[in-house]
Amino acid sequence: MKSLLFLLIPAIFVAVNGREIRQIVKEALEGLAGNWQSLTDDFTDDRKIRQIMLRNRQYDIPGGRETGKDTGFVCDSWRFAVETNNLREWKKVPDKCQEYVGVYMTGDRYESDSEIVSGEAENFARNISILGDGKDVWVFDIDETLLSNLPYYAENGFGSKDFNEDSFNEWVVKAEAPALPYSLKLYNELKKLGFRVILLTGREESQRTVTAENLIAAGYDSWERLILRGAKDSGKPAVVYKSEKRMEIEGEGYRIHGNSGDQWSDLLGFAIGNRSFKLPNPMYYIS
């Protein structure tokens, strides 16, 4: 409407020079209609281009077509829901996403995602004033946080099969899990900055020796404390067990500045510290 008024007002002044207002208004309206058609055409063209791009987009993620959607696209959305804790209590990776998860976990994307998270944790840590009394701590989970069980999961469908506790424990006893490189870098930087490191894992107390051996072999050392599930912790949900242990840590006068884990149950609950850092893991869910 404003555009139309701006076109009509000059027309009134031109009319005094001998031209009729009716003719000028007609020309103005025709021009306005032409501009609108041009804008409509541009919008339609842009929409068509976008539709063509979406239709022809080639995904690097393998997968076929299902109900008109690229499986890789759907699985990417599934992983997003997992990492944002919108999808909960899932038991295993959907069969159609097994290959997607495998490509993600063994490719550059997983490494890059881990690097970003650990890098941000390091940036946060550098801005903390350490008091020097040995009470400034950082809490780490172990599996898929410090150590990678990818060699095991690669042979077991990348989380698409039902979890077999006996089989996994056999893997743990081997003490061969490699370090997550950017987590190891963060771990060492935190020690240099003066933090004490406390390891809080869902592994059983009976696995203490092999867990410590694996950590040392992977490059981790000089932790303040290694906390594992004891008999009284058996059957507790991870979020309850870890919250209770962090409460005990704070009760001893420690200040939890950072908390790193691959599960939301590592990071939620109470006594969670000043800031939490979620590492990626689309292979399994622990409540």
Task: Give per-residue pLDDT as tens, 199-248.
Answer: 999 999 999 999 999 999 999 999 999 999 999 999 999 999 999 999 99
DSSP label at residue 206: G
Residue 206 in tokens: 């009976």
Residues counted in the chain:
287
**How many angstroms separate the CA atoms of 286 and 85, rounded?**
11
Which residue has tokens 């963060």?
186
Domain with CATH 3.40.50.1000 in the chain: 65-278
Give the CATH fold of the 65-278 domain: Rossmann fold (3.40.50)
Helix, strand, or coil here: 179? strand
**CA gap 23, 1 in Å, rounded:** 19
Quote the pLDDT of residue 226.
Answer: 99
How many angstroms separate the Cα of 108 from the Cα of each of 61, 104, 150, 188? 12, 7, 14, 23
Cβ atoms 81, 89 nearer than 8 A: no
Cα of 253 vs its chain's centroid, Å: 31
pLDDT digits (tens, 9 = 90+) for 156-210: 999 999 999 999 999 999 999 999 999 999 999 999 999 999 999 999 999 999 9
pTM over 0.75: yes
Sign (positive or negative) of CA dihedral 202, 203, 205, 208: negative
Contact 155, 105 (CB under 8 A): no
Q: Among the listed ranges 67-81, 110-124, 272-286, which one has the minimum average pLDDT value?
A: 67-81
Q: What is the four-CA torsion angle of 209, 215, 216, 217, rounded to 10 degrees?
A: 100
Q: Which residues pair with 260 in a beta bridge?
A: 140, 277
Structure-block tokens of residue 36: 């609108």
Q: Residues 6 or more apart from 219 whose CB is under 8 A from it? A: 179, 184
Using CB atoms within 10 A of its CB, is residue 276 exposed (0-12), middle (13-18) or buried (19+)? Answer: middle
Q: Is the pLDDT of residue 18 over 60?
A: no
Side chain identity, residue 89: E
DSSP 3-state of 67: coil
User: With contact defined as beta carbons under 8 Å apart, do 217 and 175 qualify?
Assistant: yes
